[in-house]
Structure 1
Amino acid sequence: MYKPEDLKNLTIKPRINDIDLDVLQRYYELFLNPFIYEYNVEDQRRNINVSLRFDKENFCHLLGIESIAKYAVPLKELHNYKGNDGWNYIKKTNLRFKDLKKLNKKSFKNIKAKFVYFYLLPYIIEKPIAVQFQNENVNPPTKIDCDILFYTKNENAIIHLGIKKDKELGYYIPKTFFIEKVKEDGVDIYIENQKKINVSKRDRIILI
């Protein structure tokens, strides 16, 4: 079983049996949550400043944990699989992959790639390749909701991280994380018709 620190040094994706939910949570806690990432985004003749934070309440959503628990647990217990409550529940109960499989084996299998490729998030945000995302430019249509889509290719997959500015918080948060297999024609429908933008990391600030 890998330790969180081990994931930071991987050059190939881990096997699902070599990681678990607590490892990914600790990885997030060490390498994503403590920082504010500052970027310059070149948009035509303007420069836009972007501040991105990975709050604890975003963790379950990024991994799709709520989607596994939905319809598998009583509605009054669903809060334990999302937001801050989900973060704390994983800590308190030592929730594991095997527990999620018991809840919904099919859903777990459908999003297993998120767990396997999660280790790449710090790399994606260090040197981002990005597009300005508009869901109406995707065919077939998608419900993905983000302002900017970071992406990278790894082995036979394209890993996407969508970020969006939260009006109440005043900074960007991770809104979606998903994996697509590389098709024979090499076309990624989420990137193909989007406007490419230049994003450069300006700083990484440690939260006090």
Structure 2
Amino acid sequence: MRSQNIFNIFCVGDIVDGGNDVNRCCQILQAEKIISVLGNHERWLLNNQMRQLKNATSLDNLTKKSQSFLKYLPTTFEFSTSQGLGLLCHGLDKNDMAMVKPDDYGYAIEVNYDLQKLIKEQKYKYMINGHSHCPMVRSFQDLTIINAGTLKKEHHPGFVTINFHASYVSFYKFIAQNRIEIEKIIDL
């Protein structure tokens, strides 16, 4: 577990299978020491699964350094914040296919066993994830889930900044002509 610096930069997976330069992306993530976790697309690539997907990355197109980087990505990463322990993951904890969406309520929450386990354990104050590609901040008892959204062009790309000390999340979206605009700020 790493302690919180003034700021950390996180990547929650889906580095591959987007039709972009995966080698360059891996190079930037490594050079900038961006804390990254394995997502389902990286797992599929490394296990030679789901390669029929549109824009699927071929392992043969990756450098050995990129392959090694992806191979050794952890599935989760714990970090400390001024408010409590945080978890970086792709889905929900170690399940890279599990998710909670902004409009999940009632039965969908009750039978989400991965979510219920995290709530019951009361280990984490925050969980930063992706997978659903839906930017979101939702609290379930003492667990607050912050979904970073996506960078995929066709899915309303954006990113988040989180200030744990001041307890707020800022959502940014990319708009025309390479501009970035703040979409909303949510208090934690």
TM-score by length of 2: 0.28
**Which structure shows the bigger proportion of residues in helix conformation?**
1
TM-score by length of 1: 0.26
